[in-house]
């Protein structure tokens, strides 16, 4: 690095160049994914939801099977959804949020767990124009913390918005207005038995790999 800083030349073979950003941490070079995993080891810098008793009444259910029984509970800092069956998808959408992302903290952090065979949790942000940006995190019976960068959220084509989702488009945290959590049946097959997920400590942290 001293050689390059002094004006030396570099020949890169293999490419494409700069496909994976490396960050220097503690004298070692880490990939952006590695640094993001390190970020997930700590609670968020700023909390978004308190999840007090009664807060569940401000969340809206969005599903392709409204006849399937589902309940939502908020208590003691935890939001929990119980699905008596999961024939398709079942999502809970937050009330409208006013500029939820603090300046300089674009990383979405949350803790989650699941039971009843539920192995993945949908995490989604919706922007002012209605565009939806979604990712999934793997969950199990024990609590796990996840850190999701804006680039982890991918455009959801269903219910799309004209002009969004084209090559080069991305999720814009500054335009986020709603946060969603939910589950989808694996491979389009209806899940048997009750499914349940729990989420707590949703908030934001600083980007460990800010764009140059």
Q: Residue 83 in contact with residue 70, Cβ under 8 Å?
A: yes
16 pLDDT more than 90: no
Contacts 24+ apart (CB under 8 A), 97-104: 97/48, 97/176, 97/177, 97/178, 97/179, 98/177, 99/174, 100/48, 100/176, 100/177, 100/179, 100/204, 101/173, 101/174, 101/176, 101/204, 102/45, 102/46, 102/204, 104/206, 104/207
Q: What is the mean pLDDT of the chain?
A: 87
Quick one: pLDDT at residue 25?
A: 54
Quick one: pLDDT at residue 66?
A: 95
Nearest to 128 by CA among 152, 102, 96: 96
- Any residues with CB less than 8 A from the CB of 127 and at least 6 apart, and which? 133, 171, 172, 175, 176, 177
Mean pLDDT of 104-121: 95
DSSP, res 86: B
- Any residues with CB less than 8 A from the CB of 160 and at least 6 apart, and which? 131, 132
Structure tokens at 125: 């942000």
pLDDT in tens, 159-186: 678 889 999 999 999 999 999 999 998 7
3-state secondary structure of 55: helix
Parallel/antiparallel/unpaired status of strands 144-148 and 107-115: antiparallel
pLDDT in tens, 119-160: 999 999 999 999 999 999 999 999 999 999 999 999 998 767
Mean pLDDT of 8-13: 68
Quick one: pLDDT at residue 4?
A: 66
pLDDT in tens, 23-80: 565 566 666 666 666 667 789 999 999 999 999 999 999 999 999 999 999 999 999 9
pTM of the prediction? 0.83
Report the range of poorest mean pLDDT among 10-19, 70-79, 109-118. 10-19
For residue 154, cis peptide bond before it (omega within 30 degrees of 0): no
Q: How far is CA 29 from the centre of its chain?
A: 25
10 pLDDT more than 80: no
Quick one: pLDDT at residue 212?
A: 41
Report the range of poorest mean pLDDT among 3-12, 97-106, 112-121, 131-140. 3-12
CA gap 165, 67 in Å, rounded: 31
Report the range of poorest mean pLDDT among 7-16, 127-136, 192-201. 7-16
């Amino acid at each position: 690095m001293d050689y390059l800083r002094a004006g030396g030349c570099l020949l890169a073979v293999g490419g494409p160049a700069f496909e994976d950003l490396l960050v220097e941490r503690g004298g070692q070079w880490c990939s952006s994914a590695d640094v993001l995993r390190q970020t997930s080891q700590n609670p968020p810098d700023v909390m978004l939801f308190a999840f007090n008793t009664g807060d569940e009444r401000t969340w809206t259910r969005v599903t392709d099977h409204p006849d399937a029984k589902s309940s939502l509970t908020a208590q003691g800092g935890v939001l929990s959804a119980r699905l008596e069956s999961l024939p398709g998808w079942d999502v809970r959408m937050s009330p409208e949020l006013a500029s939820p992302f603090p300046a300089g903290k674009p990383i979405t952090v949350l803790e989650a767990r699941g039971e009843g065979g539920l192995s993945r949790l949908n995490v989604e942000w919706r922007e002012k124009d209605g565009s939806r940006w979604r990712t999934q995190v793997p969950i199990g019976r024990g609590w796990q913390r996840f850190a999701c960068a804006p680039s982890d959220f991918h455009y959801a084509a269903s219910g799309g918005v004209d002009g969004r989702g084209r090559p080069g488009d991305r999720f814009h945290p500054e335009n986020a207005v709603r946060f969603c959590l939910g589950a989808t049946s694996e491979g389009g097959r209806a899940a048997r038995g009750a499914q349940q997920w729990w989420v707590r400590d949703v908030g934001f942290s600083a980007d460990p790999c800010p764009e140059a």
